[in-house]
A and B are shown apart, each in its own frame.
Chain A
Amino acid sequence: MLITWWYLYLAARSFVEQSLKMASILQKLITPLFSGPPEPPRNKVTVVGVGQVGMACAVSILLRELADELALVDVMEDKLKGEMMDLQHGSLFLKTPKIVADKDYSVTANSRIVVVTAGVRQQEGESRLNLVQRNVNIFKHIVPQIVRYSPDCIIIVVSNPVDVLTYVTWKLSGLPKHRVIGSGTNLDSARFRFLMADKLGIHPSSFNGWILGEHGDTSVPVWSGTNVAGVNLQLLNPNIGTDCDDENWKETHKMVVDSAYEVIKLKGYTNWAIGLSVADLTESLIKNMNRIHPVSAMVKGMYGISDEVYLSLPCVLNSRGVASVVNMTLTDDEVAQLQASANTLWDIQKDLQDV
């Protein structure tokens, strides 16, 4: 017993010595001019879920230098800590000085943007809508905690099926509808622009084309809007996107819809493209850019949709969230497709429990 007290005394003594002497190199080297509590972060981003998509989002955001603090949250503690350490070891090469991670959501406090990638993912051949109820249950745990620690944040939902889950997040969070965004067809439009631009031999950013509606099998390509340098492609080829088109441009949209399935079949999952797309949205939000992106927003009252559903439309994003929605001139056929998607989504949403 005496020995225990002796050891405790030795430990306490060396601890005190250490902390006193530790102060000495710091004291000798650095003279503080201002002591006070550390400043809270101004551009904090949280990523919920450290799977392949979550880490791709995190790395894209870090390498684009968008945040001054990054928080990671997940339920798998080892993986989470490992990913955090791996990112921290690269901090010499980054401009994000603070990278934190914990199972407990208190690390996410005061975030400006929260990216939710948590949830189960599509298996090979599985449709996004199959994942719904499983992911709703996960969200019931995640969303209230996010809002508790960051009541002023903007939530970007990435988990699939993204339109349904954005609705679920909106309901569970109680946030105003302009602060809950789904990554929606930002990725589909990026894929569309890449594939079309590739056929024309130009860079994707020089080809303008929008895919709206549901992020999934029933997305709507707006052929009337496709243009390069202001030259409308539908005027050059009036059959573009239809079945009687000789050049079969409709095939490109089909490739966009199938591309996720194809990449999943080849490498097991998709992550880089969605990560880059989320970083692009984050940039518009954090830098208050007022740029237009096709993201999933609440569309009740537009295009004759009477249900509370989230579908992708061209939205102006700034630091408040979705500032406004662009009214695209759509053909009757395209409006009908949007309405059909809205009905499908509402059918699924009305059956969800505890939302």
Chain B
Amino acid sequence: MQLCITASLLFPLSLFPFCIPSAPLYLLFIHSDSFFLPHLLYCLPFTVCFCVLYALFPCYYFPQMSTKDKLISHVMKEEPVGSRSKVTVVGVGMVGMASAVSVLLKDLCDELALVDVMEDKLKGEAMDLQHGSLFLKTHKIVADKDYSVTANSKVVVVTAGARQQEGESRLNLVQRNVNIFKFIIPNIVKYSPNCILLVVSNPVDILTYVAWKLSGFPRHRVIGSGTNLDSARFRHIMGEKLHLHPSSCHGWIIGEHGDSSVPVWSGVNVAGVSLQGLNPQMGAEGDSENWKAVHKQVVDGAYEVIKLKGYTSWAIGMSVADLVESIMKNLHKVHPVSTLVQGMHGVKDEVFLSVPCVLGNSGLTDVIHMTLKPDEEKQLVNSAETLWGVQKELTL
């Protein structure tokens, strides 16, 4: 019994050294019968001390429930499930932000991540988008220079890189953008090893090849935005000529996204009626309706917009959202996008060119085999050779 008392003396003493003066009192009376008074004297400082502390710091000793806790009771014991349909956009320039906004306004993802090297611009763009959250259905918008924010993305849209200046061709940008990709792609793969890469930066066919090599992904998970935009432009101009909505005008532009893209005239149709059947000269030099000029307008379209407003953004952004929609919603829709065409249409080299492909949530699962005329196939082979000529000089 006396041992317990002694022990119980020592513990509080260590906490409240200022109670030491009253401790000797215990020792004086420890063998006496009147134990009550020294006990009281011993306990008094503790009591006084605690009362003072409770009065001075009530919010520490009696934690008040916060407004949030009074309002909301958390009932889930497990860890919250992370996002299931996350989209990352790499690069917050004009194209990147147009893609981000198009994806947000089409309600395609439950989390959006933005990455760039310019920290202030990145943070500003993320804040601006977050301030619009009330009007969106994407609850989480995150942004950081560090790629860890991109973890577990389903689709990663790569728009980073140098862009064409006025009058500059897309091929000039190659080596500059390859160096940027050498930093970006491994980081993406590290945090989202199962994602689908959608490459937008120009020259898109070469950079899709570069992204494929650097990522080590199977070919169905590396897609280039390719001629999806060229075809959209073509269908818009065709719609204007025929006074129809572009979605009712069908026409495919394949091959290189650039100056040597190939319009497949034999496939151009409205409601299944082949226009080349109505006008056999279509697309040729002697065509009085000059449909070839439509293709030229498509090729020149980008240069013209760049000359007028400095860059193109909205059309490519909407085109990216269209592709992301097919992937996220597993639509199995056919789009002209850039994929590995080695072994098709006489192409021998390991190059990426745009052909009509089926897109779903696994990525690019199938390729439609178009029946091309000999000169159209020749154009594809020529494009492939030009691209290979540039690709083999690259240091990866």
Contact residues of A with B, CB < 8 Å? 17-18, 21-22, 24-26, 28-30, 55-56, 59-60, 63-64, 78-79, 81-83, 85-94, 97, 187, 190-191, 193-194, 197, 199-205, 228, 231, 233, 236-237, 240, 246-247, 249, 259, 262-268, 270-273, 275-277, 279-280
A39 to B135, CA, bound (A): 32
Contact B245 A194 (CB under 8 A): no
Check A21–B67 contact: CB distance below 8 A: no
Interface window among B37-45, B125-133, B209-217, B358-366: B125-133
Once A63-B106, A92-B232 are accepted as A-B contacts, the answer to whether A187 and B131 lie under 8 Å apart by CB is: yes
Assuming the contacts A97-B245, A247-B67, A266-B124, asked whether A194 and B288 have C-beta atoms less than 8 A apart, the reply is no
**Residue pair B66, A247 in contact (C-beta under 8 Å):** yes
Report whether B239 and A91 are in contact in the complex, using a CB–CB cutoff of 8 Å.
yes
B244 CB to closest chain A CB (Å) equals 8
The stretch among B254-262, B316-324, B376-384 that forms the contact with chain A is B316-324
Given A82-B310, A200-B72, are A272 and B129 neighbors across the interface (CB < 8 Å)? yes
A-B contact pairs, 30 of them (CB 8 A): A24-B279, A25-B275, A29-B242, A29-B270, A29-B273, A29-B275, A59-B314, A63-B102, A63-B106, A78-B308, A78-B309, A79-B309, A82-B309, A83-B309, A83-B314, A86-B305, A89-B232, A93-B232, A93-B322, A97-B245, A190-B131, A190-B132, A197-B133, A201-B68, A228-B71, A233-B71, A237-B70, A247-B67, A262-B124, A279-B135
Nearest CB on A from B188, distance (A): 23
Q: Which A residues are CB-close (under 8 A) to B136?
A: 276
Partner of A94, one of B64, B279, B304, B318: B318
B309: chain A residues within 8 A (beta carbon): 78-79, 81-83, 86
Determine if B333 is an interface residue (Cβ-Cβ < 8 Å): no
Known: A204-B134, A270-B128, A276-B135. Contact between A18 and B318, CB under 8 A?
no
Interface size class, chain B: 35 or more
The A/B interface has a contact count, at CB < 8 Å, of 190
**For the complex, is B235 an interface residue (Cβ under 8 Å from A)?**
yes
A92–B246 alpha-carbon span in the complex (Å): 5
Q: Is B71 within 8 A of A194, CB to CB?
A: no
Given contacts A93-B319, A233-B67, contact A63 B247 (CB under 8 A): no
Q: Are B308 and A79 in contact (CB under 8 A)?
A: yes
Q: Which residues of B contact A17 (CB under 8 A)?
A: 288
Q: Which of B254-293 contact A (CB under 8 A)?
A: 270, 273, 275, 278-279, 288-290
* Shortest Cβ distance from residue A19 to the other chain B in the assembled complex, whole angstroms: 10
Are the CB atoms of A190 and B273 closer together than 8 Å?
Answer: no
Q: Is the CB of B318 within 8 A of A90?
A: yes
User: What separation, in Å, do the CA atoms of A38 and B26 have in the docked complex?
Assistant: 106
Chain B CB within 10 Å, residue with most, of A56, A89, A231: A89
Q: Which residues of A contact B139 (CB under 8 A)?
A: 203
CB pair A277 B132 closer than 8 Å: yes
